[in-house]
Amino acid sequence: MSSVAPSSNTRRRGMSVQRARPGRTLSLRPPEGEAWSWMTNTMYGSITFRALGIHARRILDFLLHEHASHAGRENGNLAATYEQLEQWGVTAADVRKGLAELYATGFVQLTKQGLRQAGGGEPSRYALTWLPMFAATTAEMPPSHYWQEVLGRLHRQKIGSVREARRWLKSETAGEARGKRKKNSI
Give per-residue pLDDT as tens, 136-153.
788 889 999 999 999 999
For 62-94, b where at least 16 C-beta lie within 10 A, e where not — what string? bbbbbbeeeebebbbbbbbebeebeeeebeeeb
Name which of 29-38, 55-64, 69-78 the model is least confident about. 29-38
Per-residue CA distances from 178 to 58, 75, 91, 96 (Å): 21, 29, 16, 10
**pTM, entire model:** 0.78
Rounded Cα gap, residues 104 and 159, in angstroms? 15
Give pLDDT tens digits for 53-63: 999 999 999 99
128 forms bridges with which residues in the sheet? 108
Q: What is the pLDDT of residue 30?
A: 74
Rounded to the nearest 10°, the torsion over CA 60, 127, 161, 57 is -10
Give pLDDT tens digits for 93-138: 899 999 999 999 999 999 999 887 666 778 999 999 999 998 878 8
Which of the four pLDDT bands, split at 50, 70 and 90, describes residue 19? low
What rounded mean pLDDT belongs to the chain? 84
Rounded Cα gap, residues 150 and 155, in angstroms? 9
Query: How many other CB atoms sit within 10 Å of the CB of residue 134?
Result: 15
Best CA proximity match to 141, nearest among 53, 65, 76, 71 = 76
Per-residue CA distances from 20 to 3, 5, 9 (Å): 20, 15, 6
